[in-house]
């Protein structure tokens, strides 16, 4: 069996950890800052949180094409550096329009970083261990989401600028790690790379529904914890992230042993149950754990389905297409559910569960069609 845990794989994962811990800090602090010191509404908190998805959604396909043409490394370095700038400037923002503008800038960084990172991972992973590679590498994402919120809560008690400057420093640490990764792909100098990878679209729709659900949870978990009377409002996010980290480490080999669309459908069903539990009184923590179990398998399953239909020189386009649906889910989910949360946060979370259930039905149909 080909070796997976190489120095390149380790450096990619470490750099991802720095970036996603920074994002975890923003997940915790941004909604509380908007509804607290800025005295804006919960809908405004959802808009501020999800605004990055507008620019990221528009640019992801172009980032995918660019990573196939010039390589992954320039986008990895540029994306993390730009994310650091957008986070550092949040420390100077004192009004909602400025925050939204900086979140749009963060979307540019997200497009470059995320597309190139997934394409680079597919480059360095053995083909028969891609699911395992996705599971292990994504530990950085969810470890970041587990550690980032409590770290952000502690730092924000000193000041919100302290939290955002720390997040910026973590992104710069990721930039430094990418300097040592080198180029993982083979830049295309011939035919023009694809902008949209059509075969990636159907499984990406299923992935999108999972991320509408999880995006809504991440945007409103701290506010839901406040409603439930939690003194530690970051606890649901910590349990969610910790569950994914532990489960992906323990079950890393499962995505290579279960057909991806079957695994994706099961994951979406579990996500739907988890969101309903978070909306139910006194079961927020249980729902956070159940949601984490569903998310454990959703991303590896759907990305395995996406990359299974892509040639090596198309991985940037496939990653760009799939990650555009991530923006729709993670960005559009909080914005859409924020309109409902303005009246009732439990209703918003339950709606996220209904979206995941619809995604489960779509994925089952897609598997049957295939």
- Between CA 277 and CA 177 the distance in angstroms is 39
Select from 89, 276, 74, 112 the least CA-distant residue to 164: 89
**In whole angstroms, what is the distance from residue 49 CA to residue 332 CA?**
10
pLDDT (tens digit, 9 = 90+) per residue, 181-232?
777 766 665 556 667 778 888 999 999 999 999 988 988 888 899 888 888 8
Average pLDDT (156-182) is 89
CA distance 152 to 167: 9
- Contacts of residue 273, defined as CB under 8 A and 6 or more positions apart, other chains included, come to 290, 294, 353
**Cβ proximity of 57 and 114 under 8 Å:** no
Average pLDDT over residues 233-262: 86
Instruction: Render pLDDT for 73-120 as a digit per residue (tens, 0 to 9).
Output: 889 999 999 999 999 998 888 888 898 999 999 989 988 988 888 888
Give me the pLDDT at residue 185, please: 66
Residue 283, pLDDT score = 93
82-86-92 Cα angle (round to 5):
150
The contacts of residue 364 (CB under 8 Å, 6+ apart) are 265
All structural domains of the chain: 7-183+195-369 (1.20.1250.20)
pLDDT of residue 72: 84
pLDDT digits (tens, 9 = 90+) for 304-347: 888 777 776 777 777 778 877 877 887 778 888 888 988 899 99
| Residue 21, token pair as written in the block | 């811990």
What pLDDT is attached to residue 61? 83
Q: How many CA atoms lie within 13 A of 319 on its CB side?
A: 29
Instruction: Enter the pTM of the model.
Output: 0.71
Task: Give the residue with greater pLDDT, 272 vs 118.
Answer: 272
With cut-offs at 50, 70 and 90, classify the pLDDT of residue 360: very high
pLDDT digits (tens, 9 = 90+) for 5-37: 788 888 888 888 999 999 889 888 888 888 888
Note whether 148 and 23 are within 8 A (CB).
yes
pLDDT greater than 80 at residue 50: no
Proportion of the chain above pLDDT 70, given as a percent? 96
Give yes or no for residue 244 having a pLDDT over 60.
yes
């Amino acid at each position: 069996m080909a070796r997976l845990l190489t120095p390149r794989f380790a450096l990619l994962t470490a750099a991802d950890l720095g970036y996603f811990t920074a994002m975890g800090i923003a997940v915790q602090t941004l909604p509380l800052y908007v509804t607290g010191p800025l005295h804006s509404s919960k809908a405004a908190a959802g808009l501020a949180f999800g605004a990055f998805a507008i620019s990221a959604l528009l640019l992801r396909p172009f980032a995918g094409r660019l990573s196939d043409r010039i390589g992954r490394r320039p986008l990895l370095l540029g994306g993390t550096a730009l994310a650091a700038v957008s986070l550092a400037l949040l420390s100077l923002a004192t009004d909602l329009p400025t925050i939204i503008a900086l979140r749009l800038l963060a979307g540019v960084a997200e497009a470059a970083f995320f597309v190139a990172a997934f394409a680079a991972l597919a480059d360095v992973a053995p083909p028969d261990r891609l699911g395992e590679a996705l599971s292990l590498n994504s530990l950085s994402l969810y470890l970041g989401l587990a550690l980032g919120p409590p770290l952000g809560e502690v730092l924000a008690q000193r000041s919100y600028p302290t939290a955002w400057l720390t997040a910026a420093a973590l992104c710069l640490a990721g930039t430094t790690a990418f300097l040592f990764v080198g180029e993982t792909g083979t830049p295309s100098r011939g035919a023009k790379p694809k902008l949209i990878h059509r075969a990636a679209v159907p499984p990406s729709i299923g992935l999108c529904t999972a991320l509408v659900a999880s995006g809504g949870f991440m945007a409103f978990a701290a506010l839901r914890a406040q409603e439930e009377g939690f003194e530690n409002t970051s606890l649901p996010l910590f349990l969610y992230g910790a569950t994914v980290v532990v489960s992906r480490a323990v079950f890393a080999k499962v995505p290579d042993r279960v057909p991806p669309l079957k695994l994706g459908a099961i994951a979406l069903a579990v996500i739907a149950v988890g969101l309903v539990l978070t909306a139910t009184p006194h079961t927020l923590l249980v729902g956070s754990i159940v949601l984490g179990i569903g998310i454990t398998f959703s991303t590896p399953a759907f990305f395995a389905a996406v990359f299974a239909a892509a040639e090596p020189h198309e991985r940037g386009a496939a990653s760009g297409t799939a990650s555009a649906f991530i923006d729709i889910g993670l960005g559009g989910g909080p914005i859409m559910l924020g309109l409902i949360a303005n009246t009732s946060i439990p209703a918003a979370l339950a709606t996220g569960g209904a979206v995941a259930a619809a995604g489960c039905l779509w994925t089952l149909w897609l598997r049957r069609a295939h």
